[in-house]
Amino acid sequence: MLSALSVAANFCTIPLPGNNAVSLTLAVCFFTGIYFGALPAAIVGYTGDLIAHLIHPLGDYNWFMALSIALYGVICALIYKIKLPRIVKLILSAALCYIVCLCGLNTFGLWLQYIVGVRPSPLGLWDLISGNHGAIKKSFLLYLAARAPMSAVNLVVNAAIVAALQESKTVAKLVSRIKEKPSRTRSAAQGEHSAQQ
């Protein structure tokens, strides 16, 4: 269900000038990491990105952006294990995601694709290292400086959505019901197995 929501969020991305965008994918990944853990968050982020790309490809598949999206929820899941107030954990998660994912992997993948002109993949990275590319029109740091403010806006929008969801009692009840279902099914199956013995 969350993977489907991640695909939908990918399609609801609002493009902005300079290869920037406001995407609600981050909120879906954050939410999954906070409430369901690191592995489900990585799966939701990655499958959402991959399926959206397969349905509507926009050039080469960007491996660095895919890794970035998978890491959003993983970072949140790990930070939320620390005993701190929820708002502090959300701020820490957002700050780390901003540095590692948005300014790091995400921007690097786009820079490779649109500025360097190589495939945004390990092979493209090898082309960059080996010098097997044309002239680089803009350095990574200049490209990052242009993208960083809008990336921050994108992150703040998503963090605000997650903060509102964390305060919602309806969301808390829904999550607890979802988490209860597997344990109920397991206990019913164990009871049935015991009765058969």
DSSP 8-state assignment for residue 15: E
Q: Which CATH number applies to 2-196: 3.40.190.10, 3.40.50.450, 3.30.420.40, 1.10.1760.20?
A: 1.10.1760.20
Query: Could you please report the per-residue DSSP string of 159-188?
Result: HHHHHHHHH-HHHHHHHHHHHHHHHHHHHH
Assign 178 a pLDDT band (cuts: 50, 70, 90): confident
Q: What is the pLDDT of residues 85-98, one digit of tens each?
A: 999 999 999 999 99
Q: What are phi and psi of 163, to 5 degrees?
A: -60, -40
Q: What is the pLDDT of residues 107-134, one digit of tens each?
A: 999 999 989 988 899 988 888 888 877 7
Domain boundaries, the chain: 2-196
Assign 156 a pLDDT band (cuts: 50, 70, 90): very high
With 60 as the cut, is the pLDDT of residue 195 above it? no
Given a contact cutoff of 8 angstroms between Cβ atoms, the answer to whether 155 and 91 are in contact is: no
Pairwise CA distance, residues 34 & 118, whole Å: 35
**Per-residue pLDDT, 182:** 56
Q: What is the pLDDT of residues 47-74, one digit of tens each?
A: 988 888 888 877 789 999 999 999 999 9
Assign 185 a pLDDT band (cuts: 50, 70, 90): very low
* Helix and strand numbers, DSSP H then E, in the chain: 9, 2
Given a contact cutoff of 8 angstroms between Cβ atoms, the answer to whether 60 and 119 are in contact is: yes
Given a contact cutoff of 8 angstroms between Cβ atoms, the answer to whether 97 and 71 are in contact is: yes
Assign 43 a pLDDT band (cuts: 50, 70, 90): very high
Q: What is the pLDDT of residues 140-149, one digit of tens each?
A: 999 999 989 9
**38 three-class SS:** helix
Residue with tokens 């399926």: 51
